[in-house]
Amino acid sequence: MASAVDEVSDRLLTAIAVGDFLPGERLPAERELTGLLGVSRPTVREAVARLQAVGVVEIRRGRNGGTYVRDSWTESTAAAVRHTLLPRWEEFEQLFDLRGLVEGMVAATAARRRSSKQLAPMRDALSAYLSASTPRDAHTADSAFHQAVREATGNPQIVMLSQDLLARISLGFPVEPWGKGEQTHFHQGGEDHKSLYEAIAAGEPERAEEIARDHFTISADLIRDVLARVRAH
């Protein structure tokens, strides 16, 4: 039977494999990980030590210290992905479907309710996304853009529902899966972001809903691709 340390290390390896955390990016602090994953600090500490031992992360000291991702895939990753995703795959497919429906509703509601003031942070995030020079910058701008869309609904319960679904498909982490190499959210999502902003700005809820539902299939497809990769070996 898998221990808590096994489960946490597998979740972290899988989260890195699907691009929740990118090479060069710092993992959440130990205290934050305990809250996100619902485990003790010693469990998190030992799980992170395992990732360090296999070369996935490095521990840096000093002012900008922390645990940083070194690589998105090692020999340990395939087993971790299988352990984490396969037993819950039917649930994941249900969550992908639900998320598409919910994010379509979020976008449509934003298009109906957004104020001119609420469009400004969307524009800023869209500009940052399109001009991003690194995957981490694009990842950050993507999060800001979708948060601005959520906020434009004017309903904190909708915001929490959207964020909860994101965390559930992202293995407990409130960040969008990003992929790697050419198979990334960035390479597939730029036109979607522009189109979604335009539909919301124009007050076109049906168009915004359709764009959002299609856009959020990217994350589902990235996770499917990672599972297909480990099944092929």
Q: How does pLDDT run across 171-220, given as a tens digit for each residue? A: 999 888 887 655 566 666 788 999 999 999 999 999 999 999 999 999 99
Q: Is 134 left (phi over 0), alpha (psi -120 to 50) or beta?
A: beta
Q: Is 230 a residue whose pLDDT tops 90?
A: no
- DSSP-H helix ranges across 30-155: 30-37, 41-53, 77-85, 89-113, 116-130, 135-151
Architecture in CATH for domain 88-231: Up-down Bundle (1.20)
Domain boundaries along the sequence of the chain:
4-83, 88-231
* Structure confidence at residue 26 as a pLDDT band (50, 70, 90): very high
Q: How far apart are CA 195 and CA 41, in angstroms?
A: 43
* Structure confidence at residue 72 as a pLDDT band (50, 70, 90): confident
Question: What is the percentage of the chain residues whose pLDDT exceeds 70?
Answer: 95
Q: Is 59 a residue whose pLDDT tops 60?
A: yes
Closest CA to 221 of 9, 19, 80, 22: 19
The tokens describing 202, both together, are 């124009």
- What does the pLDDT read at residue 29? 93
pTM (2 d.p.): 0.89
CB atoms within 10 A of CB 11: 22
Mean per-residue pLDDT, 46-70: 92
The tokens describing 22, both together, are 């990118």
Query: Mean pLDDT score of the chain, rounded to an integer?
Result: 92
Buried-exposed string 94-109: b where 16+ CB fall within 10 A, e elsewhere = ebbeebbebbbbbbbb
CB atoms within 10 A of CB 7: 17
For the domain spanning 4-83, the CATH number is 1.10.10.10
